[in-house]
Amino acid sequence: MRKTIAQTAEPTIITVGELISELCRLPDRAAVTFRCPLHQQELRFYRLLHRSKGVVEIELNHYPESPPVAPAQPAGEPI
């Protein structure tokens, strides 16, 4: 997503429409990765849970043994 969302005490909510809007530009086989910028750790998809009508929860696992993930560098920029 292009927007940077400020960290608040409450969890950030993203709608299915917002998620689809971002992902629909990508090819069907594009990989989706997850990371925690606060801890600079990789996260792994675990499962989707349907909590109630209109609410889906995406569960991710934190792997403390995973090395910190450096943000992607644009091509041509020094590392």
Element at 57 (helix H, strand E): strand 55-62
Assess if residue 42 is contained within a domain. yes
* Confidence (pLDDT) at 30: 92
Domain enclosing residue 54, as ranges: 30-70
Q: What is the pLDDT of residue 35?
A: 86
pLDDT in tens, the chain (79 residues): 455 545 556 778 889 899 899 999 999 999 988 888 887 888 998 999 998 988 989 999 887 665 555 556 665 555 5
**Ranges of H-type helices in 1-79:** 16-23
| Residue 56 forms part of a structural domain | yes
Q: What total of structural domains would you count in the chain?
A: 1
Q: By C-alpha distance, which of 64, 76, 6, 70 is closest to 33?
A: 70
Task: Please check whether residue 4 lies inside any domain of the structure.
Answer: no
Residue 3 covered by a domain: no
Residue 75 lies in a domain: no
In a domain, 49, yes or no: yes
Q: How far is CA 61 from the centre of its chain?
A: 12
For residue 27, the SS3 value is coil
